[in-house]
Structure 1
Amino acid sequence: MSIKLSQGKKELFAVTNPYFKDKGYKFNDAKKTGVGYSLNLKHVKILLIFDFKTKSSLHKLLPFSIFHEPVENLINEIGKPNFSDSGNVSWRTVKDSLPNYYESELNDINFNTLLSFRQWGHLIVDYAQGPGKAFIDTYSYLPNVLKEMDRLEAEGKYWKEILVGGIDHLFRGLIISKLCDDPNFNMKFEKWDSVIYQSKYKIWHSYYNTLKDRLKTVEPLYPYYKSV
């Protein structure tokens, strides 16, 4: 017998709300912000968002993401294509990846019973207090984001594994590089120039030019990380 999504969500939040409330998170259930939890820290916001499906049971959890105010203020100032009022938009800077065990256990939940939503709730709390907490503790500090960007680059991987966005994830990476007094800041710009200036990204070119000009006046806010 199938159950209503509203019933399932009630069971889910009966498990997750006490944990997140205890940690100081605010529960959001608005069309504009989505359903999930948020925690405001100094110049940082932590987000955990649900993706509920009304025509299927393929419900998902978007893993933790972090909004870094100094980065996103510049993104909003520069703007993005098709977002003329972007100054009122709260973007995200970095994103986590759900651990393998989470995906495996989630696949065993069929969401046809109230108990299944409770099982999902416990799985979410396990993630939040384990890998999720480690992600927040590490990447709430912007120089650690730069360190991860450099690690990915050294391994031939892309910043998009940690940074949010399409082409604008490169904008975020360059902003982070400048804010963290990266000695390789100019090298990073030279590397991505040829990518961003491709004709297929023409809609982004004026924004990128604005970013380059704006970053000439931005002073670093963090010391460059020191490799151990």
Structure 2
Amino acid sequence: MMSNLFLVFNPSSSIFNLSFNWLSTFLGILMIPSMYWLMPSRYYIFWNSILLTLHKEFKVLLGPMGMKGSTFIFISLFSMILFNNFMGLFPYIFTSTSHLVLTLTLAIPLWLCFMLYGWINHTQSMFAHLVPQGTPAILMPFMVCIETISNVIRPGTLAVRLTANMIAGHLLMTLLGNTGSSISTMFLMVLLITQIALLILETAVSLIQSYVFSILMMLYSSEVN
């Protein structure tokens, strides 16, 4: 039963044996170019204000040592994850962020680049991060092991956090939706209100998780500067 339940995250949409599951990930590209040749709309002004707010916040968190233009990496990451999270809320659209294939693809390359940059250009500082200040000499070998493991599992925790949050809400909505055909009219109204509340909650979770993913990745990058 559980295997059949989780199959809702693997829809088989294909034409001529060509899978279109991941096509929803690239639908955002169709909306971006219109900003360059259409008159500024309310949608564009609203989205531009969000990006400017994120740029200012990321710039403060990166500090004066951050490279110029590095905030755009995390703004792009936020935009991509947010778009795919929202697309998964629509019926019959593949939720790509509920798969570790996508989330690990986003987390591992960025984390690996930050680590390589830090160890090549700031080797002493990276070694200093392995031993927190004030650690007794007898505990230093254990702290090095613990800090090394915590650094290695960072991309995995980022990917699993995003995937688990996307799966949890969608799974609950699927479970409640499957019971609609077997309950009375009175309980059906309660179920409908609950589904609407869950949909609002999932909208908030989509926004929060995309922000958390990008802000944590940015904090990891600020450690190597």
TM-score band, normalised by shorter chain: under 0.3
Pick the structure with more helix per residue.
2
Q: Which has the larger radius of gyration?
A: 2
